[in-house]
């Protein structure tokens, strides 16, 4: 079977039983023809459909300004699935079931008639997937996914409320960024909060849906040997790196307004820091509201314990970089950073004195998302006259590529004679260990939204605490008006980032792996 130049064999597989039973849901995506919807959201919903986790009666409504009817939208989504779903996951039955759920509404936000049409769709008796006249009552589960600019969140929520579409069973999903600073974030949260209760608001960070990130919680709290050494007595420092080989691409307009600190550090990297540094929650998972907030409560404590970076501390502990071809890609000069490295500290009993080095950038040497927990040297050298070298033990958690983890040790090199020390590692690759691919983050997170489980989503106080920590850095950069230091594409960033660690007699771990 081919579709617009793509050749693909559709695998006919029948899944006999659902993994999870869910009530029918109306899933409405504002920005339904946008890049996020076509690359991530709809492929994620397709994977749920393939596993038969979307029950009969569930409808998916794409809302956008595109002039498409239902047939045109189904064709557009089908093409996106061929482009973004693994070939061996494309199944004729699942594809048909998903596209039969799809509707599209062309909506001009200023047109009352268009909003009335949305009301008609969501209040209608038609259930596309079954063709029956099953009613859609007011207590029907509805999810509104706002894959649009954050300044539209409030107006959209107000219109949904005016139409009587907001009920206690509804949920709204907010994509990042939620504002551009603390003030605008509060304004957005206030606007959404006037319509939806906090328990109904799901602020999504797709990094929290990665299997390796969730496995970090399991690694920490389900393996007793780690907890006694997960503290300042034994951990020397922590490195968190999220590097991309690509440039800004078609996100240039947005990215030039945001920059790497807003786009990556304020959300993704600080969330990863929280998961590394948090205390054991009282309970992870479960249906009780208190247990669902346990993880988020502990993450908030970490954010509030971060040592503030202000004034000269910003100059000393942060690096702003920009790859040399950035202005040419944009078509105009810019002082926006495409790279950030910074040194943070968590001022609490467990982590006092342990630096956390965060780094993110575009056009880097390799695509990677990793957490490196580097342990201290042994307190006494047992083999002072041995050959070879020792390196600090470290735990590497790989989020991409090749999700998994490595525990780096020092071992004796085999052979007679004296002791020769050699670095070695224990390697766990999830795909090899479990003989199945890790699901994409949005697959897990969309399911959690429909189930109403908020654990992996950010609470309002988390978002605002993160903005509160980042904002003084932005202010200092603006006040000093220094341009970012340049770095060449295909490198590990500017030399100043290496000096940030060298000052502490440390180095980024790619040097250890070289």
Q: What is the mean pLDDT of residues 120-144?
A: 63
Among 43, 23, 127, 129, CA closest to 84: 43
pLDDT in tens, 20-66: 456 788 999 999 999 999 999 999 999 999 998 887 889 999 999 99
pLDDT reading at 126 higher than 70: no
Q: What is the reported pLDDT for 130? A: 40
The whole-angstrom separation of Cα 402 and Cα 46 is 23
**Position 421 confidence tier, pLDDT thresholds 50, 70, 90:** confident
The pLDDT of residue 431:
80
| 16-20, 63-67, 164-168: least confidently modelled range | 16-20
pLDDT confidence of residue 324 = 96
Phi, psi of 337 (to 5 degrees): -80, 140
Distance CA 122, CA 128 (A): 12
The pLDDT value recorded for residue 472 is 96
| Mean pLDDT across 132-152 | 75
pLDDT tens, residue by residue, 442-475:
988 999 999 888 988 999 999 999 999 999 999 9
Known binding-site residues for substrate equal: 206, 210, 244, 263, 362
Q: How far is residue 347's CA from residue 354's CA, in Å, rounded to a whole number? A: 9
Q: Pairing relation of β-strands 201-203 and 171-174? A: parallel
Q: Which is higher by pLDDT, 455 or 318?
A: 318
Catalytic residues: 268
Query: pLDDT by residue (tens digit) across 189-222?
Result: 999 999 999 999 999 998 888 888 888 888 888 8
What is residue 473's predicted lDDT score, i.e. its pLDDT?
Answer: 97
The structural domains of the chain, with segments of one domain joined by +, span 2-205, 208-375+461-508
- Which is higher by pLDDT, 284 or 426? 426
- For residue 223, give both structure tokens: 């393996």
Chain-wide mean pLDDT for the chain?
A: 87
Q: What is the pTM of this model?
A: 0.88
pLDDT at 5: 45
Name which of 169, 170, 187 is nearest 178 in CA terms.
187
Q: What is the pLDDT of residue 128?
A: 43
Q: Render pLDDT for 390-413 as a digit per residue (tens, 0 to 9).
A: 688 999 999 888 888 999 887 777
Instruction: Answer for the pair 344, 356: CB distance below 8 angstroms, yes or no.
Output: yes
Mean pLDDT for the stretch of residues 480-495: 94
Residue percentage of the chain with pLDDT more than 90? 61
Q: 422-440 pLDDT, tens per residue? A: 778 889 888 888 777 777 8
- pLDDT at 388 (0 to 100): 57
d(CA 321, CA 485): 5
163: pLDDT strictly greater than 60? yes
What is the chain's alpha carbon radius of gyration, rounded to the nearest angstrom? 25
CA 44/CA 37 separation, integer angstroms: 9
Annotated binding site: 65, 176, 206, 210, 244, 263, 362
* d(C-alpha 486, C-alpha 222), whole Å: 43
pLDDT at 344 > cutoff 80: yes
Average pLDDT on 139-158 reads 91
**DSSP-assigned states of every residue in 477-513:** HHHHTPPPEEE-TTBSS-HHHHHHHHTTT---THHHH
- Domain 2-205 superfamily per CATH: NAD(P)-binding Rossmann-like Domain (3.40.50.720)
pLDDT band with cut points at 50, 70 and 90 for residue 288: very low
Helix (H) or strand (E) holding 314: helix 312-317
Give the architecture (CATH level 2) of 208-375+461-508.
Answer: 2-Layer Sandwich (3.30)
**What residues form the annotated binding site for NADP(+)?**
65, 176
Q: What are phi and psi of 218, to 5 degrees?
A: -65, -45
């Amino acid at each position: 079977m081919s579709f617009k130049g793509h050749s693909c064999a559709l695998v006919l597989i029948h899944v006999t039983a659902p993994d999870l039973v869910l009530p029918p849901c109306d899933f409405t995506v504002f920005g339904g023809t946008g890049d996020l919807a076509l690359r991530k959201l709809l492929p994620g919903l397709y994977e749920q459909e393939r596993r038969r986790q979307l029950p009969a009666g569930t409808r998916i409504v794409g809302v956008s300004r595109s002039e498409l009817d239902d047939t045109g939208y189904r064709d557009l989504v089908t093409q996106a699935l061929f482009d973004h779903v693994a070939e061996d996951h494309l199944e004729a039955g699942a594809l048909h079931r998903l596209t039969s759920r799809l509707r599209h509404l062309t909506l001009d936000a200023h047109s009352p008639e268009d909003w009335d049409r949305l009301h008609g769709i969501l209040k209608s008796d038609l259930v596309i997937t079954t063709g029956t006249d099953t009613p859609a009552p007011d207590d029907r589960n509805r999810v509104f996914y706002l894959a649009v600019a954050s300044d539209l969140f409030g107006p959209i929520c107000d219109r949904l409320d005016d139409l009587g579409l907001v009920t206690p069973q509804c949920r709204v999903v907010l994509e990042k960024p939620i504002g551009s600073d603390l003030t605008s974030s509060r304004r957005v949260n206030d606007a959404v909060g006037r319509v939806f209760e906090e328990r109904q608001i799901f602020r999504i960070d797709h990094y929290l849906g990665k299997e390796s990130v969730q496995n970090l919680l399991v690694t920490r709290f389900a393996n007793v040997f780690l907890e006694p050494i997960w503290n300042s007595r034994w951990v020397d420092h922590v490195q968190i790196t999220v590097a991309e080989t690509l440039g800004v691409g078609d996100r240039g307009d947005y990215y030039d307004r945001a920059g790497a600190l807003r786009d990556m550090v304020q959300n993704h990297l600080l969330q990863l820091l929280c998961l590394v540094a948090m205390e054991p929650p009282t309970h992870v998972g479960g249906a009780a509201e208190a247990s669902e907030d346990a993880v988020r409560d502990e993450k908030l404590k970490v954010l509030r314990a971060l040592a503030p970076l202000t004034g000269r501390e910003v100059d000393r502990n942060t690096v702003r970089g920009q790859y040399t071809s950035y202005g040419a890609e944009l078509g105009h000069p810019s002082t926006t950073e495409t790279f950030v490295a910074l040194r943070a500290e968590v001022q609490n009993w467990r982590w006092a004195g342990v630096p956390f080095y965060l780094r993110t950038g575009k056009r880097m040497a390799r695509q990677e998302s990793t957490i490196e927990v580097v342990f201290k040297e042994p307190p006494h050298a047992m083999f002072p006259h041995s050959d070879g070298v020792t390196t600090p033990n470290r735990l590497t958690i790989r989020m991409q590529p090749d999700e998994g983890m490595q525990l780096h040790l020092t071992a004796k090199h085999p052979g007679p004679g004296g002791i020769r020390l050699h670095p070695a590692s224990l390697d766990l690759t999830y795909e090899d260990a479990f003989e199945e691919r890790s699901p994409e983050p949005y697959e897990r997170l969309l399911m959690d939204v429909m189930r109403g489980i908020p654990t992996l989503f950010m609470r309002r106080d988390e978002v605002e605490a993160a903005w509160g920590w980042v904002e003084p850095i932005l202010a200092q950069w603006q006040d000093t008006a220094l341009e970012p230091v340049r770095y060449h594409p295909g490198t590990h960033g500017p030399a100043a980032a290496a000096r940030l660690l060298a000052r502490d007699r440390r180095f980024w771990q790619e040097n250890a792996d070289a």
